[in-house]
Amino acid sequence: MKRYRLLAVAGIGIVAVLVGVLMFGNLNGNLVYYLTPAEAIAKHADYPDGRRFQLGGFVRPGSVAHTPEGLRFVVSSDVKPGSPAVPVLHNGPLAQLFQPGIGVIVEGSWRDGQFDSDTMIVKHDENYRPPATPAPAPSGGDSR
C-alpha cells in the first residue's frame, strides 16, 4: 500500500511539473516588450537593419509631417525638449487617436538611421468621454 501511495505522489508530482512547464515555460517568449528611444539608441547594434522590434515613447509636438513616403514624426522618451529621440517613418495604417504629445508604440526596424514602422498602437487612458452632442436648435415657429 505504501508503494502505491509513493508511486501516486510521484506521478502527481511529475504531472504537476509538466503542467507548469507547459503553462509557464513559454511565457517569456510570448511577452511583448518595447524599447524606449534611449534604449533603442543604446542597443542599435543589437538590432541591425531589418531586425524588427517595438519602439515606445511620446510623439514630439511639431514633428509630425505627411510626406509621399509616409508619415514622419519623432518619438522621444519624454515630451520635454532634449530627451532622447528617434525619427520614425510610418507606412502603415494610422491609429485613430494619433496626435502629437500622445504615447505611441510602433513596430518595425532600423533603416539608414531612422526607424521604419508599419504597425502603430496608441496609448490612451481609461477615461471614456462620449463625443459632444450639439445643442438643439431653437424652434423659430410661432405657437398660436
Binding residue numbers for heme:
124, 128
The candidate with the shortest Cα–Cα distance to 70, out of 45, 90, 51, 95, is 90
73, 59 contact by CB (below 8 A): yes
Binding residue numbers:
124, 128
Task: Say how far apart CA 93 and CA 119 lie, in whole Å.
Answer: 7
Task: Say how far apart CA 115 and CA 57 lie, in whole Å.
Answer: 13
Task: Say how far apart CA 49 and CA 43 lie, in whole Å.
Answer: 12
Residue 62, sorted as left (phi over 0), alpha (psi -120 to 50) or beta, turns out to be left
Backbone torsions φ then ψ of 4, nearest 5 degrees? -65, -35
C-alpha cell at 13: 508530482
